Amino acid sequence: MFFSKSFGYALRGVLYVALVSEENRRVQADEIAKRLAVPKHFLAKIMNRVVKEGILDSTKGPYGGFSVNGETLSSPLIRLLRITDGMEQFNTCVLKLRKCNKINPCPLHFLMVKNRDDLLKNFSQTTIADLLSQENKIGIQSIATV
Amino acid sequence: MFFSKSFGYALRGVLYVALVSEENRRVQADEIAKRLAVPKHFLAKIMNRVVKEGILDSTKGPYGGFSVNGETLSSPLIRLLRITDGMEQFNTCVLKLRKCNKINPCPLHFLMVKNRDDLLKNFSQTTIADLLSQENKIGIQSIATV
DNA sequence: CTGAAAAGAGACATGGCTGTCTTTTATGGC
DNA sequence: GCCATAAAAGACAGCCATGTCTCTTTTCAG
């Protein structure tokens, strides 16, 4: 829960490229959008930011498209989340009280902080490669079936 | 993280009424809005839904305002969250894949499910009374200091 | 060098959450 | 009954995430 659609598109896009890159070819935004049932131009903008961040490569022109690079597989999920959603959610009070901290906690502070830190830890430690090598085989169907 | 401003307003509003109700009086939306530094009419709409849900009482006219009732203190946080944000976030896939479940999990399914269930459990078990009786004294300052 | 292919960039539309303001309804005191 | 008070209800504006569409730029093939 809790994350933007953009994050979902980014992750599914990267996973798709990584999966078909085992076939050692570039993947067009058009193909990704069709296979993942995602709006093409919106996806393209997100993929563009993923490329700028260095998690994927892209090439224009014929035979162009997106491809994995040396950073792709070792990128933790938090890198994608930072691109699409930012990190503010992990640093701000649930009740949006700026003065809330462990010294002056809001009523929900300690209720939330463990949960939030667990999630941040998961997203910091889990990489694209980890997702691809999960026991329950991750295949295209697991990111394409809307 | 993750919840709407409305939820924060609702919770802080209920807590404020509960706190000053120890003085056995009704509390006006105007006072709540001023003390919590929250937009009055927007708060009023949210409080209205809280009243409809039965978590608070309200009376119009002179000497009117909001007051606690028999359900207020024993209400779990999830009741407020359901009013303001709905429950969908606990039942839908992070990647918004409708077919995602433990039989056909998306790549993030098992990463998210424990975290989500922990949070849901916390919000289902923690009541308004629990928040008011936390060890670190919850006072008006802890919900008013923006 | 030219044309086609594909990413990149930007303008615009939509919907929901947030916020402001005005009007209506209900209530208590005189 | 009248008036003041306060919640309830509704109209409207702004912002942001999402989504659509068009135009520009880059690159490859021949």
Cβ distance A142 to B108 less than 8 Å, yes or no, reads: no
Average pLDDT (B63-86) is: 97
**pLDDT at site A144:** 87
Average pLDDT (A112-135) is: 93
Nucleotide with minimal C1' distance from the CA of A58 is C7
Q: Does the pLDDT at position B119 exceed 70?
A: yes
Give chain A's length. 146
What's the CA A122/C1' C12 distance, rounded, in angstroms?
A: 39
Q: Does the pLDDT at position A146 exceed 90?
A: no
pLDDT in tens, A1-35: 589 999 999 999 999 999 998 777 899 999 999 99
pLDDT in tens, A40-79: 999 999 999 999 999 999 999 999 999 999 999 999 999 9
Judge contact between A1 and B92, C-beta under 8 A.
yes
Q: Is B111 on the interface with A (CB under 8 A)?
A: yes
A94 touches strand C (CB under 7 A): no
Compare CB distances from A8 to B89, B96, B143 and report the shortest one's residue: B96
pLDDT classification of A135: cutoffs 50, 70, 90:
low
pLDDT in tens, B8-55: 999 999 999 999 987 778 999 999 999 999 999 999 999 999 999 999
Q: List all residues 6 or more positions away from B1 whose beta carbon is below 8 Å from its beta carbon.
A: A2, A89, A90, A92, A94, A112, A116
User: Which residue shows structure tokens 């997203």?
Assistant: A123
| Span of A66-75, A128-137, B29-38, B83-92 with lowest mean pLDDT | A128-137
Q: Does the pLDDT at position B145 exceed 80?
A: no
**pLDDT at site B61:** 96
Q: Which residue has the higher pLDDT, A144 or B80?
A: B80
User: For residue B113, which residues of chain A lie inside 8 Å, CB to CB?
Assistant: none
**Selection from B25, B95, B18, B19 nearest residue B55 by Cα:** B18
The span from the CA of A139 to the CA of B106, in Å, is 9
The span from the CA of B134 to the CA of A111, in Å, is 11
